[in-house]
């Protein structure tokens, strides 16, 4: 059973060359596919035309809502803010750099079929270095061991019931926020399934996944998860409430 209403969070930082294509990809995938949807673009303090281009799309399509962070807070804060603003039955995300297939977005929505959560993995990752693929596989293995799971991937597209998504804290400020959500949702008892998605590769710009800032953020996220899941009950801590 396909959910009738969907909120799609699009987090974007300095994506002026990609944001219009990302919004158009989501719009094209959703039109005629679900009864109602909203696209929540969260502009993470971009210093280029990302915000203006998103606003221009919003003027043409009332389903597009644009939120602006005053300063750059990182992907985790940006994604969390979009999740908090969601109003539809299920919430999912789509990369602001258009780094995923719009058809895969339809696939994960179709896969819900009563599940609380659908998470995805990519069979073939394009345009990624050997080093990044090794680090990614190590990250997956490490999280599986730490939290007693057997997942294929942690940082792909996901979709979850809105009330469950909004009930968990998202403390990561960086790219590990999706992995954090997956771990928290599964450990809280959500039913879930994994499906394959198509990774298309960004058309413009470079990924910051291997930056020192990102690696520090990933380490911090893992430590927070260990603390919350094994040593303390989760608290709804909004570290990004000032954005």
pLDDT tens sequence across 140-194: 999 999 999 999 999 999 999 999 999 999 999 998 999 999 999 999 999 999 9
Residue boundaries of the structural domains of the chain: 5-231
Q: What percent of the chain has pLDDT over 70?
A: 87
The CA distance from 171 to 174, in Å, is: 9
pLDDT score at 236: 45
CB 43 within 8 A of CB 107: no
Average pLDDT rounded to a whole number, residues 18-23 = 96
In angstroms and rounded to an integer, the radius of gyration of the C-alpha atoms of the chain is 17
The residue whose two tokens read 């043409």 is 60
Neighbours of 111 (CB within 10 A): 17
Opening angle at CA 78, ends 72 and 81, nearest 5: 130
pTM: 0.88
Opening angle at CA 9, ends 67 and 108, nearest 5: 170
What is the fold of 5-231? Spore Coat Polysaccharide Biosynthesis Protein SpsA; Chain A (3.90.550)
Q: What share of the chain is helix, strand, coil (3-state, %, to 5)?
A: 40, 20, 40
pLDDT score at 242: 44
Average pLDDT rounded to a whole number, residues 25-42 = 95
CB 119 within 8 A of CB 151: yes
The CA distance from 38 to 240, in Å, is: 22
Q: Is 32 left (phi over 0), alpha (psi -120 to 50) or beta?
A: left
The residue whose two tokens read 């009950």 is 233
Sequence-ordered strand ranges (E) for 123-234: 158-161, 192-197
pLDDT score at 53: 98
pLDDT score at 5: 96
Burial class (CB in 10 A: 0-12, 13-18, 19+), 25: buried
């Amino acid at each position: 059973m396909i959910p009738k209403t969907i909120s799609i969070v699009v987090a974007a930082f300095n994506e002026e060359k990609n944001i219009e294509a990302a919004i158009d990809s989501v719009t094209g995938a959703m039109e005629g596919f679900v009864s109602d949807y909203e696209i929540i673009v969260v502009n993470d303090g971009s210093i280029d035309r990302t915000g203006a281009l998103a606003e221009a799309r919003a003027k043409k399509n009332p389903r597009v809502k644009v939120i602006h962070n005053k300063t750059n807070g990182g992907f985790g804060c940006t994604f969390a803010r979009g999740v908090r603003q969601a109003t539809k039955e299920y919430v999912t995300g789509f990369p602001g750099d258009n780094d995923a297939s719009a058809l895969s977005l339809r696939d994960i929505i179709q896969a819900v079929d009563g599940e609380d959560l659908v998470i995805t993995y990519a069979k073939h990752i394009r345009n990624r270095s050997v080093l990044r693929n090794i680090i990614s596989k190590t990250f997956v293995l490490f999280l599986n061991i730490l939290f007693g799971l057997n997942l294929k991937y942690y940082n792909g597209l996901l979709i979850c019931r809105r009330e469950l998504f909004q009930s968990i804290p998202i403390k990561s400020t960086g790219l590990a926020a999706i992995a954090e959500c997956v771990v928290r949702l599964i450990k809280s008892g959500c039913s879930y399934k994994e499906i394959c998605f198509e990774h298309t590769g960004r058309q413009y710009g470079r990924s910051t996944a291997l930056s020192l800032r990102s690696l520090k953020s990933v380490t911090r996220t893992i430590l927070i998860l260990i603390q919350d899941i094994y040593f303390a009950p989760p608290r709804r801590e909004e570290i990004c409430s000032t954005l």
